Amino acid sequence: MKIKAGIIGGAGYTGGETLRLLLLHPQVEVVFVHSKSQAGKPVASIHRDCLGLTALKFTDKLNNDANVLFLCLGHGEAKKFLQENKIPASIRIIDLSQDFRHVQNSVFGKRKFIYGLPELNKKHIQKAENIANPGCFATCIQLALLPLAAHHKIKTEVHVSAITGSTGAGQTLSETSHFSWRQNNVSPYKIFEHQHLKEINESLVQLHPVAKPYVKFVPYRGAFARGILATVYLKSDLSGKAALELFQSFYKSTPFVHIAPFEVDVKQVVNTNNCFLSVNKIGTELAIVSTIDNLLKGASGQAVQNMNLMFGIDETTGLKLKPSAF
Asked whether the beta carbons of 293 and 272 are under 8 A apart, the reply is yes
Show the CA angle centred on residue 76, arms to residues 6 and 80, nearest 5°: 60
Helix (H) or strand (E) holding 286: strand 285-292
Q: How far, in Å, are 29, 155, 162, 187 from residue 190 at the CA level? A: 40, 25, 12, 10
Q: How far, in Å, are 131, 265, 267, 320 from residue 179 at the CA level? A: 34, 23, 20, 31
Q: Which residues contact 92 (CB under 8 A, 6 or more apart)?
A: 67, 68, 69, 128, 129, 130, 131, 310
Q: How far apart are CA 323 and CA 326, in angstroms?
A: 9
Q: How far, in Å, are 76, 78, 282, 297 from residue 72 at the CA level? A: 11, 8, 41, 15
- CA 149 to the chain's CA centroid: 20
Question: Concatenated DSSP letters for 35-64?
Answer: -TTTTTSBHHHHSGGGTTT---BEESS--T
Strand-pair partners of 59: 34
**What amino acid positions are annotated as catalytic residues?**
136
